[in-house]
Structure 1
Amino acid sequence: MELSTLDYSFIVVFFSIILGIGIYVSKKSGKNSTEFFLSGRTMPWWLLGLSMVATTFSTDTPNLVTDIVRTNGVSGNWVWWCFLITGMLTVFVYAKLWRKSNVNTDLEFYEMRYGGKPASFLRKFRAVYLGGLFNIITMASVTLAAIKIGGIMLGLEPWQTVVGAGLITVTFSALGGFKGVVYTDFLLFFVAMSGAIGAAYYLVNIPEVGGITALMANENVSEKLAILPDFSDRKALITLLIIPLAVQWWSSWYPGAEPGGGGYIAQRMLAAKDENHAIGATFFFNIMHYALRPWPWILVALASLVVYPDIASIATAFPNIEESKLGHDLAYSAMLTKLPSGLLGVVLASLIAAYMSTISTQLNWGSSYIVFDFYKRQVNPDATEKQMVAVGRLSTVLLMVLSALFALTLQNAFEVFDLLIQFGAGTGLVFILRWFWWRINAWSEITAMFASGILVITLAKTSLGDILFDPATGVFPDWANYPFIVVVTTAIWMLVTLMTKPESDKTLRGFYRKTQPGGPGWSKVVRKAKDENVNILEHNDKWSVPSGITAMLLGVGLIYSIMFATGYWIYGKTTSALILTGVSVIAAFLLIKAWNRMKGNLL
């Protein structure tokens, strides 16, 4: 595919601005580690919210959504739509707690909440496990998408895409630190959103597709349109809706959707000016992430079913693509090759923007773990601010190189998504309860983490998986694999929790005094402290969590109704769209009232 001078102009100007921002903020970002990783904790809610959205606007997400839609229809997206519940819980319950903790990374939490060698091990191990291994896997998935886009749209070899896409990203990330990431995210969001919407509008109206009405009526598309799975298809209903909504959202750890907050979402909450800005940022992010953004990708995925109905048709149209890289996720890139000059440049710039935003965030976040939670904690406790920034920049480059090399071995974005979901199965409840139940200890988290990983590997690599979940001969139906891991993992860590000693009074009281979580799960600790004339209560206000859960449910209803109303307006189903629009207005009104009632307690 040939790019015009106009297309190249868009891309060159875009690259120049991004590098300029990184260079501009590099001096201030390199002043100390807090500036480099948290921008001095001075960020406003709207900038952090846009940064969260831009970060999750990665190059692999359109490919993942396309793969899901082509394989399981629009309703297949419940595998990630369910995480909205997690997001709303973070907004109205956990955002204020994270900001109150005032830690540099969410892993520093471990040695505030727990004590002794288990807490130290947990912090250091997860710094390498999450900041290194999981981070590299996630970035490799994003880079894989860039490889497929480069191969389809520009005919590039995988190594050429990796070098070209990674070089500029790692340069401005290493120079600009967190402030450079957030400032560039502001620009990257608007570029990425404009490209996605522009591409969807144009591609739905190309002659091969024939417009939105013809698209909806096409025999390859009509059976894929349902927002809810077919209730008569028991397996689809269980795997696409019941398990995600009943189990997956609270039980699984997944980057960007950690139960109770965590990862780069926690990093942005910790960088906020105050608790109010932390809450506002996460709420704004969830609205944009779920309610508005998916539909341009879904429309392109549906249109691709008309133009490229199967993988064989993609292979025929693009014979230069390696067989190992062929999959339904390629259809998104294949559709983009049909864009005209000018719009093509904008869309390519938007894809580059999506890649750079996600990778730069992952690099800075992963590097923060390595610096604060491993290097300073384990290697050099007396490290100066200058040394910590230097290690941060070096680890940024190293993470980029390792993820790029791993990306060259991957084939499919959905495989990576499924792997991450499986490895996090059963751990989520620990992250939710550790704030509100004093009995949770470091061994609870260590056990959950290892039990989940060992179970996944055992079921995948031994005959036990076939004995239990083989579709033809297994003891359980194959859809029960994930719930099985959740139930067994949860049972194991709960048993270990009750068999091991609780954290010391000193540790528990210090944590409570700093974060003020409240609730019946801490009543024993508060009562014992009071009996010993130790004051750990800042105030006697009513516990805010019940009001937070009410607001969470209203927020979930608001965002789902907006998201589905948008879909039905696109489908031309006016009655359903009007009803859902009305529901969203009512939910918004009730949420505002609930928020005003709880605001005093929350803030």
Structure 2
Amino acid sequence: MYLASITLTTIDWAILVAFFIIVLSIGYVASRSAGKSTSEFFLGGRGMPWWLLGISMVACTFSADTPNLVTDLVRQDGIAKNWVWWAFLITGMVTVFIYAKLWRRSEVMTDLEYYELRYHGNVAAFLRGFRSVFLGLFFNVLIMATVTLAIIKYGQILFGLPAWQCVLFGSIGVVIYATLGGLKGVIWADFFQYSIAMFGAVYAAYVAIQQPEVQAIGGLSGMLSADSPIASKLAIFPDPGDLSLLVSMLIIPIAVQWWAVWYPGAEPGGGGYIAQRMLSAKDEKNAIGATLLFNFMHYAIRPWPWILVALASLLVFPELSDIGEQFPGIDAQYLAHDVAYPAMISKLGPGMLGIVIASIVAAYMSTIGTHLNWGSSYLVNDFYSRFIVKDASQQHLVRVGRICTVVLMVIAGVLALKLESASQAFELLLLSGAGTGAIYLMRWFWWRINAVTEIVAMFGAIITGVVLVFFVDADALAIRSESFSLDGSSCRLLLAILINTVIWVTTALLTKPEKKETLYEFYRKTKPGGPGWAKLRALAEADGVDIEGDSKGKAWELPYELLCVFVGTIMIYACLFSIGNFLFGNLVYAALLLLLSGVCCVIIFKLFNRTRAVG
């Protein structure tokens, strides 16, 4: 261990202690109702308002590793590299205007329960059970390990703690309140923690700009000017004259990635903890409002403080060796570009240092708390009570859920000690879901998709990912010519998407559809509508079965919903780039983009009201 480069003062410690007391108190108060039933523990009693759910969603994605990831992207490839996750806004808007109400209508406990609503028989049961373990345990643990990795790096940079102590100290508090209060405790804690986390991010950006290395070139305006030493990192869009960068950084994410890749928090068609929040909403309106607020805060408001810190870090720590020299005790395993963010946090002064460290802990606890509750909901509702103890009491299931919460945290902490960087885990998660995204969009609107299709798609993605990662050299797949080149990672992603999409579409066409009685019940409950269900509606009419109810004869909502998706995407991107242009000093462009965002907002509400009127 080396001597930490910062020392917490009495006021810093007081702030941290107060923070933990408030968070644990929230968990204790929520525990009074959380233990009554699994609906209370995992869905907060299905009575949560849109504003609270929206903040909870964005708090969860405001994880401790996300600033590190953004810093990694900016330091290596510039601001434009953020399109690798900005493109998921389209996924989010599709969820807002198309899928949020469908999930709420389904009234399932978890999104995996959907499988036995949409499909039937042992194959559907197997799919639900396998996915509960695969996502709830393995995949979920990988996500939590990634977030915990960030805490390790903060602990090593700021306090000089060994990795195992970072994991231990970082996980104790979140396990206590997540175990006590269930989802309701997590959501209310998220609301409190997000306020602190956002303030901390903004203040960290302010302090980063005040560093002598930044002030020496003219502060913010100098750092973001064309003459800046880091000018090559400042483009928001890839150079249109460089086709290679344009394809890899912008075209692939916008044209392919958003619909083809399953990624936590941006699942095509909704899913995971986003679906959990929608299912816990009071009604369809609150589910839609929550997801809209989430996407606005996540993509439009939050990125710029992180980007500013990342850019400033390039001036303060131009090379990784500079970080290593200032923090000689950091393990070589963890010395990557993403540690530049915690390195910049070390520049804070007394008092505010305590607040910003509390904000980092808040971001960590929000994400881990959500994933602990989400993962345990899968293991309890979709595996344990479905296949192990089918007649267990609600109180017994809540106890099992609390045990799962602790176990998941332990496994995630152990795995975190093996990871190296945020981008490493991000790429692994991205590739493991390549090619499966479209099936999660289409299964709501095409009756032909069955359980076998999803099973084949799932295993196809796993096998393809393993082969491409461990047996195929990414560089061997790279395209290189005088006029165009595409890096191996992009080629690997496109190849995985192509292979897996062909596999699942072929399977859907060659295998038998689900029993029509199962499909009748699914349609009657969720009312998806559209030409993809035309044959089923004809079968139901021939059988004398009413599956449309009060929606019969009404216009299909999807065309209006797609228009809402388009306008909503422009609205949030316009706001994102308005803030960016304001920081760059382009005030006219900033004002015009803000005006465009406001106009789109008005159009959305008019379109949305019309959609609800016809649907």
Q: Could you say which TM-score interval applies, normalised by the shorter chain?
A: over 0.9
Q: Which residue of 559, 565, 572 corresponds with 1:559?
A: 572
Which residue, 3, 9, 17 being the options, matches 1:12?
17
Equivalent position to 1:137, from 130, 134, 142 = 142
Structure 1 residues 20-39: Cα deviation after superposition (integer angstroms, max 9, x where no partner): 11111112101111100001
Partner Cα separation in structure 2 for residue 181 and residue 84 of structure 1:
24
Whether 1:593 aligns to 2:606 is yes
Is the 1:220–1:305 Cα contact (8 Å) retained in structure 2?
Answer: no
Q: Does 1:226 align with 2:235?
A: yes
Query: Structure 2 vs 1, CA of residues 57 and 477 (structure 1 numbering), >3 Å: closer, same or farther?
Result: closer
Query: How far, CA to CA, are the matches of 2:103 and 2:605 in structure 1?
Result: 23
Deviates more, 1:458-467 or 1:265-274: 458-467
Q: Report the Cα distance in structure 2 between the residues aligned to 1:115 and 1:464, rounded to whole angstroms.
A: 41
Say whether 1:576 aligns with 2:579. Answer: no
Deviations 1:263-291 (A, max 9, x none): 00000000000000000000000000000
Give TM-score, length-normalised by structure 2: 0.96
Match of 1:265 among 251, 260, 274: 274
1:169 has 2:180 as partner: no
| Aligned residue number for residue 87 of structure 1 | 92
2: distance between equivalents of 1:113 and 1:469?
40
CA contact (8 A) 1:32 1:386 kept: yes
Relative to structure 1, is the Cα distance of residues 463 and 429 closer, same or farther in structure 2, using a 3 angstrom cutoff? closer
Counterpart of 1:495? 506
CA contact (8 A) 1:220 1:309 kept: no
Hey, what's the Cα distance between the residues in 2 that align with 1:268 and 1:142? 20
2:200 matched residue in structure 1: 195
Contact 2:145 / 2:412 at 8 angstroms: preserved in 1? yes
For the 8 Å contact 2:475–2:487, the answer to whether it is kept is no
Provide, for residues 331-367 of structure 1, a one-character-per-residue CA deviation record: whole Å limited to 9, x for no partner.
Answer: 0000010111111111000000000000000000000
Show the 5 A alignment for 1:310-389: 310-389=319-398
1:518 equivalent to 2:539? Answer no
- Which of 62, 85, 88 aligns to 1:57? It is 62
Question: What is the CA distance between 1:317 and its match in structure 2?
Answer: 1.0
| Cross-structure match for 2:462 | 453
216-225 or 306-315: which moved more? 216-225
Once the two structures are superposed, the pairs formed by residues 104-123 of structure 1 within 5 Å of their partners are 104-123=109-128
State the 1:600 CA deviation: 2.2
Deviation at 1:312, TM superposition (A): 1.0
Other-structure match for 1:508: 519
Deviations 1:178-237 (A, max 9, x none): 110001011001000011111111221222211212222464322111110111222211
Paired letter, 2:319: D
For 1:212, the equivalent position in structure 2 comes to 220
In structure 2, list runs of 5 or more residues that go unmatched.
Answer: 1-5
Partner of 1:43: 48
Percent sequence identity over aligned pairs: 51
Superposed displacement of residue 571, structure 1: 0.7
The 4+ residue runs of structure 1 with deviation greater than 6 A are: none
Judged with a 3 Å threshold, the aligned counterparts in structure 2 of structure 1 residues 349 and 465 are, in CA distance, closer, same or farther, namely closer
Residue by residue over 1:241-269, the C-alpha shift from the partner in whole angstroms, topping out at 9 and shown as x without a partner, is 00000000000000000000000000000
In the superposition, the TM-score normalised over structure 1's length comes to 0.98
Residue 431 of structure 1: SS of its match in structure 2?
helix
Contact 1:181–1:360 (Cα < 8 Å) also in 2: yes
CA distance in 1, matches of 2:99, 2:180: 31
Identify which range, 396-405 or 339-348, moves more after superposition: 339-348
Alpha-carbon deviation of 1:578?
A: 2.2
Q: Is the deviation greater in 211-220 or in 402-411?
A: 211-220
> Within the alignment, does 1:75 sit opposite 2:80 as a pair?
yes
Matches of 1:571 and 1:465, distance apart in 2: 36
| 3-state secondary structure, aligned to 1:18 | helix
Task: Tell me, yes or no, if the aligned pair for 2:248 and 2:486 is still in contact at 8 Å.
Answer: no
- List per-residue Cα deviations over 1:144-163 (Å, max 9, x = no partner): 00100011011111111111
RMSD between superposed Cα atoms in Å: 1.6
Match runs of 1:427-446 below 5 Å: 427-446=436-455
- Shift in Å at residue 469 of structure 1? 3.8
Distance in 2 between residues matched to 1:84 and 1:196, nearest whole Å: 21
CA contact (8 A) 2:477 2:491 kept: no
CA distance in 1, matches of 2:601, 2:234: 27
1:306 aligns with 2:315: yes
Q: 1:470 to 1:113 in 2, by over 3 A?
A: same
Residue pair 1:55, 1:354 contacting (<8 A) in 2 also: yes
- Counterparts of 1:62 and 1:388 in 2: how far apart (Å)? 36
Contact 2:453 2:507 in 1 (8 A): yes
Confirm or deny: 8 A CA contact 2:136 2:374 kept in the other structure.
yes
Structure-1 residue corresponding to 2:3 = none
| Alpha-carbon distance in 1 for matches of 2:353, 2:141 | 30
Instruction: Give the aligned partner of residue 22 of structure 1.
Output: 27
Equivalent position amino acid for 2:224 in 1 = M
Q: Is the 8 A contact 1:458 1:465 kept in 2?
A: no
Q: Does the CA-based 8 Å contact 1:562-1:580 persist in structure 2? A: yes
1:286 is matched with 295
Q: Give CA deviations for 1:368-409 in whole Å, capped at 9, x if unaligned.
A: 000000001111111111110011000000000000000001
Q: Tell me the equivalent position of 1:395.
A: 404
**In terms of mean alpha carbon deviation, does 520-529 or 205-214 score higher?**
205-214
